[in-house]
Chains A and B, each alone.
Chain A
Amino acid sequence: MTRAKRGLFGALSVTFLLGFLLSACSQPGSGSSPGGGSSSDGGSSSGGGTSANAGGSSDGGSSGAIGTGGTAVGFIFVGARDDYGYNQVAYIGSQAVEEAFPDLKVLRVENVPETAEAERVMEQMINDGANIIFPTSYGHLDPALNVAARHPDVAFFHQGGLKTAENLGTYFGTIWEPVYLAGVAAGKMTKTNKLGYIVSVPIPQVLLNVNAFTRGAQSVNPDVTTTVVFTGSWCDPGQQANAANSLIDGGVDVLTQHQDCTKTVIETAERRGAMSVGYHADASSLAPEGWIVGSIWNWPALYVDMVQTALDGKFDGSKYDGKFRGTLADDIVLLTDFGPNVPDEVKALVEEKKKALLDGSLHPFAGPVKKQDGEVVFAEGVIPTIDELESMDWFVEGVIGTIPK
């Protein structure tokens, strides 16, 4: 009997371990076919204006230039395509590619974990004729670099990466610009002067957004603080609901987030009477009362242009062969419409700041910028470079939260 018990405990610890693994990474996606009930309105707000260089895709070149000669374009996503978030907007971008290049097959795989599994999926796509691949999640970078080294003729466009290779460029947007503006609105709207930020893991993009949001809020309301909660996952609704409730219990009245799926947090905030600032995709329909504004991506035109560049054999030396960063001025990142309960003077104030951002008279991280502990990072008059911003590993003063070291 004791032996039986020991065996049982052994089996259990194995299961427990398995559970940890499972909660850490999700299932490889099964269905990748388009169609079906693709979601209603979120994020598609400005999908229309794709640059019209559709026409004859040049696959005759076969000069061996990077990214040419393929019959397909591959997209891998870390989550589901209709998550009101990161993956949904990237998916919408892939649809634009599909429309613009009818001769190219668009291969998509959702729920690709950020592991060697991603390499396998990309290899398969290359086998299936893809010479252009979009690994769209931050954690897909290392697998993509490995695959890129094995296939020097395939062009890779990685979303958000900080490393590049001969045939791998990264693209992203300065989303912290609209996030800063959303912070301005939040700083004006909060009554408790406590903002809540639900984030996943401490990578620079995340910290940059938290800091931009806080700087925006502080610029109009010096008493405001941002409380940060890490969930450790890009999409775990149970943990998101825990975090949202916990922050609201703690007195936070404006919630924002850096998660892949954004629905649960916004709906929880709405039910509890707190206000929401959106991220990734326009989810205003989920919060008719509490929606303030959101920061979203506008990928379609960019994706189409990147594919065109590669097909033309011009990847090498183009602006996408490196770290490309689209801006608010380029319409790569956007601010959504305001919610119905945002007063006109707040809207006007945000518009005014937006103008200043666009004409260069305002920079969210113009010095002096202080860390949480008061140390000055950017001195008076200093304007940090994009590389400096994208390697951020600290919180600004006014943020409550701890970054794991």
Chain B
Amino acid sequence: MIADILTGAVRSGTSVLFATQGELISERAGVINLGTEGAMLAGAFAGFATTVWTGSPWLGALAGGIGGMLLALLHAYLVISRGANQLATGLTLMFLGMGLTSFFGRKFVSESIVGFNPVPIPLLSDIPFVGPILFNHDPLTYVSFALVPLIGFLLFRTRLGVIIRASGEREDALFASGMNPKLVRYGAVLAGGFLAGLGGAQLSIAYTHSWVENMTAGRGIVAVALVIFAAWKPLRAAIGAWLFGAAQALQLTVQQQGYPISPYFLFMAPYLITLIALLAVEYRKRSRIPEGLGKVFTGSPGGAG
């Protein structure tokens, strides 16, 4: 039963995980993107539609990433180039993503695809207990395993990472050293959109093999919240995403035991458990918000920053 819950955690947490990693890059560079939900939907839809057209889930995954990236591009343009309020713009884009994908997705609801299926990794998947939990998933899930250390490495061990973080902490310093923080932020927001889109695509073409309007059902919002409660740390955000998945699996497992607990209470459990766990971590170890997060960078020396 525990193995089932942990397997379920990875299954249903992966799409959220992608979105958290994307949002984390974006926020580290100083841009909060509440439109992640919209980007996930764009990715779920673009990925599904492309898989229908081409028959290739890999192309679908790529298209999903690009779909998310396009929506993020709009966000980047409005908040970086036009100085719009990040929170308001993000919310607007969330609704834009819902509307656009519902509209264009209409005729895809009944389509069937051959998407990603679980591919057990030889040898590793035979390890008792751990094998089925970690090594019997769809290819995108394996990508997500590799992604977390990769992003950790990128942000904290490379020059590019320093530049990204500087653009979210001390954009003036970055500007003074001859680099353009706006450009860095554009890159980070686009990367974030790509990963959110990939997460959406994982949901539509790998996990459910379905497209239905608003199918992300709040997962993008959970991802944004997770990044903040995970104190902008990639591994913690990933654990948060898996925890969210685990709580969903746990909720379903508890229902099947027939305990007299209201399912309505159980529906709340994933959010509650994730919040409590991450707040507990946060409480013990206060973390620092990227200083430039949410601020508008004008690029004019002495201008209203």
Q: Do A and B bind each other?
A: yes
* Residue positions of A touching B, CB distance < 8 A: 1, 4-5, 8-9, 11-12, 15-16, 18-20, 22-23, 26-27, 29-31, 36-37, 39-40, 42, 80, 82-84, 88, 111, 202, 227-230, 232-233, 235-243, 245-247, 249-250, 261, 263-264, 267-268, 271, 286, 400-402, 404-405
Which residues from B are CB-within-8-Å of A31?
A: 103, 106
- Give the residue of A19, A29, A228, A249 whose beta carbon is less than 8 angstroms from that of B255: A228
Leading 7 A-B pairs by shortest Cβ distance: A19-B221, A39-B110, A404-B262, A37-B107, A230-B263, A82-B110, A19-B218
Pair B207/A241 contact, Cβ less than 8 Å: yes
| A280 CB to nearest B CB, Å | 13
Q: Which residue of A lies closest to B209 (CB)?
A: A267
| A28 CB to nearest B CB, Å | 10
Which residues from A are CB-within-8-Å of B8?
A: 242, 245-246, 249
Pair B225/A12 contact, Cβ less than 8 Å: yes
Pair B102/A27 contact, Cβ less than 8 Å: yes
Other A-B pairs, 16, CB within 8 Å; known A8-B294, A245-B11: A4-B293, A12-B228, A16-B221, A27-B98, A31-B103, A37-B110, A227-B256, A229-B252, A238-B207, A238-B216, A239-B217, A242-B249, A250-B4, A400-B257, A402-B259, A404-B262
**A-B CB contact pairs (8 Å), 16 listed:** A4-B294, A15-B91, A36-B107, A80-B106, A83-B212, A232-B263, A235-B212, A238-B207, A238-B217, A246-B256, A261-B109, A263-B110, A267-B112, A271-B209, A401-B256, A404-B263
Interface: B224 (CB within 8 A):
yes
Known: A1-B291, A242-B12. A400 touches B37 (CB 8 A): no
Please indicate which of the listed interface residues B207, B217, B256 has the most CB atoms of chain A within 10 Å of its own CB: B256
Pair B263/A242 contact, Cβ less than 8 Å: no
Give the complex CA separation of A239 and B98 in angstroms: 18
Give the complex CA separation of A288 and B221 in angstroms: 37
Known: A229-B256, A236-B217, A400-B256. A268 touches B208 (CB 8 A): yes
Which residues from A are CB-within-8-Å of B230?
A: none
Please indicate which of the listed interface residues B204, B215, B259, B294 has the most CB atoms of chain A within 10 Å of its own CB: B215
Give the complex CA separation of A11 and B86 in angstroms: 11
Known: A232-B263, A246-B252, A404-B264. A286 touches B112 (CB 8 A): yes
